[in-house]
């Protein structure tokens, strides 16, 4: 057993599973802001019902996603002590900002939003949800800043064998950051839109009593997904130029890549500095899925006079296509992260020098334990999402008035003698 391979497998497993939670969270919170804002401006009660229904799913995904994120963070110190020691002064800065400024605020705003229904003024309650969304985007922003530095180290100086941050602004202008951040945000909106469209399609196929409500969310989901897939494609293809410049070996076969490999061989010694073929495979299939989901634009005209519902087969297509955004984001992660190998920090810190000196047996045990834990959390998440989605929007627990009895509460009314 190889400690390095086991550590890489563990991080790949935990990161990819956590990423699935992140894209749902970021996509749904954006749609929730739109729906609650529409309810605040129009006073139409349907928007409150939609916000409560989709907010219930959002909260479930958020809570379980926090647990997966905590598991992932532990590995920086446990399995990758070389990374923390060598580049922690630089890499840790955006992560610390994300934790202190974004994550803590986001959790605080969300808690107040959850328990503030019918207790806070509507404008304050709406402002809290806006705060949740803004801090969620801020969290993704700083995570991508940190990841972009690993892809293309900038603004640092090595002193006494340790990298020190010398130019914070260079982190924000990193050529591997901007388009990648837009790509992740667009992919999250695509995933949220597809989830909303698919759940709505399922209820419409079942002809539930809340037909009008899910008709509205179906339209929101389809339009959001169609616009988002175009943004995904745009931000995705816009990255090829900056990435090819910053990471010549990712695509290989160029004079710049050959020159860089020769330089690394001189500095770090002989080795395989070409990324694994898995990176190209992941990129190819992600692009294929992206073009396939571009067909969502064909469904937009069918929203006219509800042809998308009358024909019914487009609703089945939405249900069948639901896994595709999730598969695409994992493939995109593989293309970005595996394509950086064999480096943790590209051209600066080789992966084999970043791994901790942990016994292979211990690493294998932690791999199995973390995989089982995160697998359980992921399964629990989807079971709860499916369960609450199937209940419909009649009376979601989120936002229920304190004096309102649930529809399925069969307890007899208490009769007081006069």
User: So where are the chain's domains?
Assistant: 3-391
How far is the C-alpha of 176 from the C-alpha of 174, rounded, in Å?
Answer: 5
The number of residues in the chain equals: 418
pLDDT, mean over the chain? 90
d(CA 323, CA 341): 28
Residue 344 parent element (H or E): strand 343-345
Q: How confident is the model at residue 284 (pLDDT cuts 50, 70, 90)?
A: very high
316-342 pLDDT per residue, tens: 999 999 999 999 999 999 999 998 989
Residue 416 has pLDDT above 60, yes or no: no
Cis previous bond, 342, omega within 30: yes
Give yes or no for residue 414 having a pLDDT over 50: no
Q: Which of 103-107, 115-119, 380-384 has the lowest mean pLDDT?
A: 103-107
pLDDT band at residue 99 under the 50/70/90 scheme: confident
Q: Computed from CA positions of residues 330, 331, 337, 342, in that sequence, does the dihedral angle turn out positive or negative?
A: positive
Q: In terms of pLDDT, which residue wins out, 408 or 299?
A: 299
- Joined together, the tokens standing for residue 111 give 């808690």
Please give the residue that has the higher pLDDT: either 103 or 418.
103
Q: What is the DSSP string of 50-80?
A: HHHHHHHHHHHHHHHHHHHHHHHHHHHHHT-
| pLDDT > 80? residue 348 | yes
Query: What are phi and psi for residue 252, nearest 5 degrees?
Result: 65, 175
Cα separation, 134 vs 103, in Å, equals 11
What is the predicted pLDDT for the residue at 417?
34
For residue 15, which of 59, 75, 64 has the smallest C-alpha distance? 75
Cβ(321)–Cβ(299) under 8 Å?
no
- Within 13 A of 376's CA, how many CA atoms are on the CB side? 7
Q: How far is CA 145 from the centre of its chain?
A: 15
Where residue 254 falls (left for φ over 0; alpha for ψ -120 to 50; beta otherwise) is: beta
The 10 Å Cβ neighbour count of residue 64 is 20
| CA gap 397, 115 in Å, rounded | 11
Candidates 199, 217, 193; CA nearest to 293 is 193
The tens digit of pLDDT for each residue in 80-94 reads 888 888 888 888 888
pLDDT digits (tens, 9 = 90+) for 215-237: 999 999 999 999 999 999 999 99
Q: What is the pLDDT of residue 98?
A: 86
Q: What angle is formed at CA 328 by the lines to CA 288 and CA 371, rounded to 5 degrees?
A: 145
Please report the DSSP string for 167-185 in residue order.
Answer: -HHHHHT-TTTHHHHHHHH
Beta bridge partners of 345: 349
- Pairing assessment for the beta strands 162-165 and 349-350 based on DSSP bridges: unpaired
Binning pLDDT at 50, 70 and 90, where does residue 66 land?
A: confident
Q: Between 271 and 103, whose confidence is greater?
A: 271
If pLDDT is split at 50, 70 and 90, which confidence band does 400 have?
A: confident
């Amino acid at each position: 057993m190889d400690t390095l391979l086991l550590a890489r497998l563990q991080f790949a497993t935990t990161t990819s599973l956590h990423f699935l939670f992140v894209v749902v969270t970021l996509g749904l919170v954006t749609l929730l802001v739109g729906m609650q804002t529409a309810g605040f401006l129009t006073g139409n009660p349907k928007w409150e019902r939609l916000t409560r229904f989709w907010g219930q799913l959002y909260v479930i995904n958020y809570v379980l996603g926090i647990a997966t994120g905590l598991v992932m963070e532990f590995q920086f110190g446990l399995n990758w002590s070389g990374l923390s020691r060598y580049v922690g002064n630089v890499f840790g800065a955006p992560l610390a900002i994300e934790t202190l400024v974004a994550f803590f605020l986001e959790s605080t705003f969300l808690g107040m939003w959850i328990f503030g229904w019918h207790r806070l003024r509507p404008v304050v309650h709406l402002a809290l949800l806006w705060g949740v969304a803004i801090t969620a985007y801020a969290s993704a922003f700083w995570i991508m800043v940190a990841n972009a530095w690993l892809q293309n180290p900038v603004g640092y100086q090595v002193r006494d064998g340790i990298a020190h941050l010398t130019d914070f602004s260079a982190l924000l202008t990193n050529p591997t950051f901007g388009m990648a951040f837009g790509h992740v945000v667009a992919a999250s909106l695509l995933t949220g839109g597809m989830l909303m469209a698919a759940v709505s399609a399922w209820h419409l196929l079942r002809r539930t009593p809340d037909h009008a409500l899910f008709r509205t969310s179906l339209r929101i989901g389809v339009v959001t997904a169609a616009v988002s897939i175009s943004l995904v494609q745009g931000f995705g293809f816009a990255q090829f130029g900056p990435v090819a410049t910053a990471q010549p070996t990712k695509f290989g076969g160029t004079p710049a890549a050959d020159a860089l490999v020769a330089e690394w061989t001189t500095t770090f010694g002989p080795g395989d500095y070409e990324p694994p073929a898995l990176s190209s495979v992941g990129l190819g299939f992600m692009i294929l899925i992206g073009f396939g989901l571009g067909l969502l634009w064909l469904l937009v005209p069918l929203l006219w006079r509800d042809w998308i519902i009358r024909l019914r087969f487009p609703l089945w297509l939405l249900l069948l296509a639901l896994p595709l955004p999730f598969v695409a984001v994992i493939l995109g992660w593989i293309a970005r992260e595996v394509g950086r190998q064999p480096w943790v920090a590209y051209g600066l810190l080789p992966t084999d020098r970043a791994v901790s000196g942990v016994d292979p047996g211990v690493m294998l045990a932690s791999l199995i334990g973390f995989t089982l834990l995160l697998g359980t959390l992921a399964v629990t998440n989807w079971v709860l999402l499916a369960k609450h989605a199937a209940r419909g929007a009649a009376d979601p627990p989120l936002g229920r008035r304190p004096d309102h009895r649930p529809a399925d509460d069969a307890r007899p009314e208490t009769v007081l003698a006069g």
